Every structure is written in structure tokens, then in C-alpha cells.
Structure 1
Amino acid sequence: MRARRGVQYAYKDHTADIQIHAWGCDLAEAYAWAALAMFDYMTPLEDCARVRTTRFKEIRASGHDLDTLLFAFLDELLFTFHTEMLICTAVQVCEFNRDEWSIRAVVGGTTFVDGETRQGTEIKAITYSAMKIIERGEISKDDESTGVHRAELFVIVDI
């Protein structure tokens, strides 16, 4: 999935931090949207989406439950941003393994260039504070139109 085409995330103010709310048809999609939301907060992705995707990277993370898996996935992406200056504009989750609590994704994007790339607000860290992951059974189109989604997650990031 690429940024800016019918985004499936929102930001909610939280004392001195920001809460990311992401959703999708399953948890893999919600995790991917959370990743894009994180990057969009740090640097507006509508600017980067106009630039051709020039870099790709495989991201792997593991945990011992859904919360630690989400934390590890976003933390690995944040680490990649800070060390390689990779702005992810596309995230494709290739494997989402609940038996081993692991995720493998391929991300695509461009390089953050200081002085050229528009900056948003720096995210310093992912937190477990008020982290919430929701999965529902089948939902109807009426439910979707009222904002009920099959998979949703909430994660607070330190800014």
C-alpha cells in the first residue's frame, strides 16, 4: 500500500505525545498503515509520494504477542529512518506469522535530504502506553461506513 490513497489512519492528541490510530481489513494491513502514519507525521508523505520510489528494504521484526510485535515493527522502521534516512512511502506486509509472532515487510521510499525534504515532527520513540489492538469478526459494509473496522490499533509515539 502507498501513502495518500485513501489513508487509513488518523492522529489523536495525547499529553506531550501523539496517538496513531490505524485500521485495515486485517492486522497486517493495520500494521502497514500505522507505519505509514508514523512516517507521514515525521515528513509529509504527499511530498515524497510525488518522487519516484528509489529505495527498497526488507524489514523483519518479532515479539511474543501482538503488542510487542507492533512495537518491534515500528521501532525497527524508526531505527531505519534515523540510521539510513529512509522515508517509507509504501509498505507491503509479506508475512504476518502469529505462531512465531513475526512480521516481514518490504518497504519502499526515498531518502530524507536535510534542507530539501519538508520536515514534520520528529518521533523519538514508540511506547507501550495505552497501546490497543482490536480485531473483530466479520463486519458489514454498513459498519465500515460508520467507522467500524475489522482491525484497528492505537499506539502512542513520543515526540
Structure 2
Amino acid sequence: GRAAVTVAESEKGRIGVHERSPMGVAGAEGVETWAAGEAEVKREYLDHTADVQIHSWGGSLEEAFEQQVLGIMGLITELDTVTARLDDVREVIAEGHDMPSLLYNFLDESLYLFNAELFVTKRIRIVGFDREACTIRSLHAGERFQLGRHPQGTEVKAITYSAMRITEDVEEHGRTDVLVIVDI
């Protein structure tokens, strides 16, 4: 069936942990495999007044959430100039009280990783996703942003709840769609 969630406003609860190396991080097994490849693009940018709406999709909710993070990073710089360094994998943990707040906090923590450490995520894998507890654990492979090497794109100021939509329709249409507006 089709389940849709539309959000006007929600409280947020979050925690974030950022690690530099996958060694000792649960779920990092096989990091060489997923971090070394290229991610299939399952996202697009839609015009929105003074903001940008990112539409992502995937065969699962996790994949659509991962594509949202890559959509944000793709606004910040050209992802084809970024290397997914295996010696610089970060862990991001986020929690919420429902799916929209979890998505918001997950994207906010991923954006914080860039704002605090200039870390650009090139590849991402959600290694823990608990729908009941509304928690996510993800591993981000990438590198530090460097002017001259990475073109400066659009500054993403914030994630918003405005017109946020999560539509899980895997059974009928074979995919999950997520729409998020970011403040630029």
C-alpha cells in the first residue's frame, strides 16, 4: 500500500557522533566495497521560491534517505570531484520521535558534519535503521572540502519541515519517494 506523511512542524530530538575511521565502528564491515563504487543518482532538484526542494527516491526508505544526504552535498559542491576516502569514514547517529523528525535530524546531522568539519559525504550507507525507536546509524565516506579542488556550490543554511513528504509505495510502484526543502 501507500503510506504518506506530510509535516508542517515537529519537535526535534537528536544526537550525533562523528568518527574519523571505520575501525571499531559496528557495521563498517565491507566499507571498501560500498565506499569505493559510484552511487546511482536517484534524486533531482526542483525549483522552489528562495529555497531548493530535493526529491529523492529508492527501493527502500533507507536508500531514499541516503539520496537526500547526497542531494544536499551535491548542492554544496560537485560530487564527482570528491573522493570517498576509506581512511576517513564518519559515523552519524540521529533520532526522532516520528519518521519526519528522524529524517530532519538525520539530514541536519549530516549537514552539521559539513559545517563543523568541512566533511563532504560522497558515499553513505545506513547501517542501522530502527523504525520503532526512530533511530538511524550511518557511515559516511568522503573527504574534507578544499577550495581549488572542489568547486564551491550553493550554501545550504538549514533543513526545513516545509512541504516535507515521505511516501512509501514499494509494493505498488517499487520505490519510496522523499521530498525535502532546504534553505539556501
TM-score by length of 2: 0.76
What is the RMSD of the two structures over their aligned residues, measured on CA atoms? 1.7
TM-score by length of 1: 0.88
Q: Identify which of 10, 13, 27 aligns with 2:61.
A: 27
Quick one: distance in 2 between partners of 1:95 and 1:136?
21
Quick one: distance in 2 between partners of 1:119 and 1:149?
35
Runs of at least 5 residues in structure 2 that lack an aligned partner in the other structure = 1-33
Aligned length: 150
Identity of aligned residues (%): 41
Quick one: distance in 1 between partners of 2:163 and 2:130?
24
Shift of 1:137: 4.2
Q: Identify which of 107, 122, 125 aligns with 2:155.
A: 122
What's the secondary structure of 1:118's corresponding residue? coil
Quick one: distance in 1 between partners of 2:176 and 2:143?
28
Quick one: distance in 2 between partners of 1:137 and 1:88?
27
Indicate if the aligned counterparts of 2:59 and 2:170 stay in contact, CA closer than 8 A.
Answer: no
Structure 1 match to 2:79: 45
Deviates more, 1:105-114 or 1:10-19: 105-114
Structure 2 match to 1:14: 48
Tell whether 2:182 aligns with 1:157: yes
Runs of at least 5 residues in structure 1 that lack an aligned partner in the other structure = 140-147
Deviations 1:91-112 (A, max 9, x none): 0000110110000000000110
Quick one: distance in 2 between partners of 1:41 and 1:30?
17
Shift of 1:135: 0.5
Indicate if the aligned counterparts of 1:42 and 1:123 stay in contact, CA closer than 8 A.
Answer: yes
Quick one: distance in 2 between partners of 1:108 and 1:90?
5
Deviations 1:70-123 (A, max 9, x none): 100000011110111100000000011011000000000011013432111010
Structure 1 match to 2:6: none
What's the secondary structure of 1:128's corresponding residue? coil
Structure 2 match to 1:73: 106
Structure 2 match to 1:92: 125
